[in-house]
Amino acid sequence: MFCQEILTFLSVKIRITMLKKIKKNFQKYIGGIFSNLSNDIGIDLGTANTLVYVKGKGIVINEPSVVAINKRTGQVLAIGKDAKRMVGKTPGHIVATRPLVDGVVSDFEVTTQMLKYFIEKVHKDSFSFSPRPRVLIGIPSVITEVEKKAVIDAAMNAGAREAYLIEEPMAAAIGARLPVTDARGNMVVDIGGGTSEIAVISLGGIVSARSLRVAGDEMNEDIIRYCRDEFNLLIGEKTAEDIKIAVGSAYVLKEQLTIPIRGRDLVSGLPKEVNVNDTQVREAISRSIRIIVNNVKTVIEETPPELLSDIMQRGIILAGGGSLIRGLDKLIANQTEMPVRMMEDPLTAVVRGTGIVLEDLEVLKHVLVEDQREKSFK
């Protein structure tokens, strides 16, 4: 009787093992079919811009993270560049909005629609009627589990077969071709639209990091406030961004830059034009710049001495659109007494990093966000 029970138990266990093996092989087979029909894509899901990398093709999409919606019908009217043109120019029932705030999903449904649009745009010239790609998305290094799940769910609802996450500073470091898997210290400062990511990386992991909700968008707000307080002039976000790009600086320049700006006079309510120079803009954004620099120094203070030695040799790497502020590298170098250099094409650092990981996902799987790594490669 006892022997019979053992034989029954072993028989059931063998069946379960065989079923698991069959299921695994079936999933692998189905995944292979979808892999042939779909292009694996890496996405830098930024607050200001979304960039998409297609495996084997490179960066194919670089569009604003903006969606225009008709509030009466709930219909999505435009996404990306077309929606960006509508910002500040729409009637009351049409809203051009950003579905991501400070690097995280603030409107789940709109984010899903935006991701679906980009996935379909990537596959529009292929023969796939229902693309089901593997998607790798860059996220801020310090966000909650709920915020991570929101990104994964949005990608899956948008049509992804599998969705993985990678921290933005890790992706930026990989995009800069830094040896992130070696036992050497690498420091990256990635200043985007919604967040600034500061991280020290070694052995495929982040040793010390800060994720700030102070970046390019906050600098735009600083410029809007400055114009309102100093000139009684009301300007919009786009005008503020144009001022930042044209004359913005973090360090004293050799030659003064000036730009005329137009807005509404808060006293008379009529149109008004004033000239703004780099000194005034530097004063306007000084608070945001100071917060970023102070946090860079804090991360350095928290870094083990052995890794600091490596960073002093290799230097701090700047990435992201916000790092293009004139003189920012000089300011950080002066404040930290360490070499600072701008990486090549800093605007595409994160998405290029996702692309490199996608090209060799099995080898670089350990750089993915931990819970997704365990779930996907168990």
SS3 104: strand
| Same domain, yes or no: 338 and 359 | no
Q: How far apart are CA 278 and CA 9, in angstroms?
A: 79
The answer to the question of residue 27 being in a domain is: no
* Domain CATH number, residue 89: 3.30.420.40
**Token pair 């800060």 in the structure block, residue:** 210
pLDDT digits (tens, 9 = 90+) for 228-240: 999 999 999 889 9
| Same domain, yes or no: 186 and 298 | yes
Retrieve residue 98's tokens: 């950003």
Domain with 212, as residue range(s), is: 180-343
| Same domain, yes or no: 327 and 264 | yes
Q: How far apart are CA 183 and CA 261, in angstroms?
A: 50
- Indicate if the pLDDT at residue 26 is higher than 80: no
Q: What is the band of 361 on the pLDDT scale with cuts at 50, 70, 90?
A: confident
Q: What is the band of 24 on the pLDDT scale with cuts at 50, 70, 90?
A: very low
Strand-pair partners of 45: 50
Residue 223: Cβ within 10 Å count: 25
End-to-end CA distance of the chain: 38
Residue 272: Cβ within 10 Å count: 18
The answer to the question of residue 89 being in a domain is: yes
Q: Where are the beta strands (DSSP E) in 239-377?
A: 258-265, 271-277, 316-319, 340-342
Cβ contact 97:107 at 8 Å: yes
What lies within 8 Å, CB to CB, of 178 at 6+ separation is: 186, 188, 201, 314, 317
| Same domain, yes or no: 221 and 316 | yes
Question: Residue 46's Cα: distance from chain center in Å?
Answer: 4
- Indicate if the pLDDT at residue 12 is higher than 80: no
The answer to the question of residue 306 being in a domain is: yes
| Same domain, yes or no: 190 and 207 | yes
Question: Residue 155's Cα: distance from chain center in Å?
Answer: 15
| Same domain, yes or no: 89 and 64 | yes
State the average pLDDT over residues 199-210. Answer: 93
- Indicate if the pLDDT at residue 146 is higher than 80: yes
pLDDT at 100: 85
Q: Pick 273 or 76 by higher pLDDT.
A: 273
Q: Which whole-number Å values give the CA distances from 250 to 199, 246, 290, 373, in the listed order?
A: 21, 13, 9, 39
| Same domain, yes or no: 195 and 327 | yes
Q: How far apart are CA 173 and CA 366, in angstroms?
A: 15
pLDDT digits (tens, 9 = 90+) for 70-123: 888 888 888 888 888 887 777 888 888 888 887 788 888 888 989 998 888 887
Handedness of CA 115, 116, 121, 124 (dihedral sign): positive
| Same domain, yes or no: 188 and 310 | yes
Strand-pair partners of 318: 189, 342
**Token pair 């605007």 in the structure block, residue:** 347
| Same domain, yes or no: 281 and 366 | no
Q: What is the band of 48 on the pLDDT scale with cuts at 50, 70, 90?
A: confident
pLDDT at 217: 92
- Indicate if the pLDDT at residue 296 is higher than 60: yes
SS3 184: coil
| Same domain, yes or no: 185 and 133 | no
Question: Residue 165's Cα: distance from chain center in Å?
Answer: 11
pLDDT at 247: 96
Q: How many domains does the chain have?
A: 2
